[in-house]
Amino acid sequence: MRLTAEQLAWSVHGTPLLTDVSLTVEPGQTFGLVGPNGSGKTSLLRLLAGLNKPKAGRVLIDQQPMHTLKQRAIAQSIALVEQQADTTDRITVRQVVSLGRTPFLSALRPWSKEDDAIVAQALRDVDMAHMTDRLWHTLSGGERQRVHIARALAQQPKILLLDEPTNHLDIRHQLSILELVRQLPITVMISLHDLNHAMECDRIGVMDGGRLIDSGLPQEVLTAARLRQTFGVHAHVVNDPVDGKQIMRFRNSI
């Protein structure tokens, strides 16, 4: 599914958090969202997920304006992995992931074997299949994050939104989550702090001060000038002799 934002604006108490954000993520693309703290990445993802109504502009899912859809219909297409979502409930990993089936269940459509299979697959996808019966409060931060991602995958979304999903993850699971996300045949928007990770996305958008100041192919967007101007760091690119890929190194000053 194609995800389109048209001139989105969002403000809280008259403080603008997003101004005039327009972008399109093509079906199947992985779109990386980067920007300093407070640049509006989370606000944008919330609008795109339908958690907040934009003060101006609109969101389109394919050609359909989001505000004409019911919350349930939105959730059948879009899943969101929030940055921090915790609970004090005594609930197992499997039960958390099962919550992802909520948009598809009703009195007439009870839990089925198919749902069991979807949940099991989602747990395998994030490498948590061996922990299905563990209680939530016994999990580490990284394990919780992976369970949240599995919960979103159990929604079988056509569009997946992830807000800094690699926070708290050890390096192995950072890489495996990013790998998983890239391989998903669905439209993905992912906010990231690690710019080298962002380089692996199909396209990148740079947020600053609530505006989308640039978007395009990673190597075109993340230039030395852009990094100096937006992130306040000096960067230079080195080539990895193993696979010939470019990696960036950063310093505060030259």
Partner 1 sequence: MSIALTRSSTTGFGLRWLWLTPIVLVAALIAGTAIGETSIPVETIVKVLANQLLGADYAVDRIDAGIIWNYRLSRAVVAGCCGTSLALAGVVLQALLRNPLADPYLMGISAGASTGAVAVAVAGLGAGALSLSLGAFIGALLAFGIVIMLAHAANSGVGGGRGVQAAGAIILAGIAGSQLFNALTAFIITKSASAEQARGIMFWLMGNLSGVRWADVALAVPAALFGLLVCLWHRRSLDAFTFGADSAASMGIAVRPVRGMLIIAMALVTAVMVSIVGAIGFVGLVIPHAMRFIVGSRHTRLVPATALAGAVFLIGSDILSRILISGQVLPIGVITSLIGAPAFALILIRGKRS
Under the rule (CB under 8 A), what is the footprint of partner 1?
12-13, 46, 49-52, 70-76, 78-80, 82, 85-92, 94-96, 99-100, 102-103, 105, 107, 111, 132-133, 155
> Can you state the angle between helices 141-154 and 113-125, rounded to 10 degrees?
140
Residue 40: CB minimum distance to partner 1, A: 13
The residue among 61, 95, 64, 65 whose CA lies nearest residue 79 is 61
Residue 148: CB minimum distance to partner 1, A: 8
Looking at the Cβ atoms of 75 and 206, the one nearer to partner 1 is 75
d(CA 58, CA 198): 26
Residue 237: CB minimum distance to partner 1, A: 37
Angstrom CA distances, 70 to 50, 105, 110, 111, stand at: 10, 15, 20, 22
Residue 135: CB minimum distance to partner 1, A: 8
Angstrom CA distances, 73 to 53, 65, 128, 139, 155, stand at: 16, 12, 28, 31, 12
Judged on CB neighbours under 10 Å (0-12, 13-18, 19+), 134 is: middle
* Helices and strands in the chain: count of H runs, count of E runs: 9, 12
Q: Which residue has the tokens 């996305």?
A: 201
Task: Please report how many Cα atoms fall inside a 13 Å half-sphere around the Cα of residue 163, on the Cβ side.
Answer: 19
Residue 155: CB minimum distance to partner 1, A: 7
Residue 63: CB minimum distance to partner 1, A: 21
Looking at the Cβ atoms of 45 and 222, the one nearer to partner 1 is 45
Looking at the Cβ atoms of 82 and 143, the one nearer to partner 1 is 82
d(CA 116, CA 224): 48
Looking at the Cβ atoms of 12 and 237, the one nearer to partner 1 is 12
Looking at the Cβ atoms of 119 and 221, the one nearer to partner 1 is 119
Residue 90: CB minimum distance to partner 1, A: 6
Q: Are strands 234-239 and 211-216 parallel, antiparallel or unpaired?
A: unpaired
Tell me which DSSP letter residue 112 carries. Answer: -
Looking at the Cβ atoms of 144 and 173, the one nearer to partner 1 is 144
Looking at the Cβ atoms of 92 and 176, the one nearer to partner 1 is 92
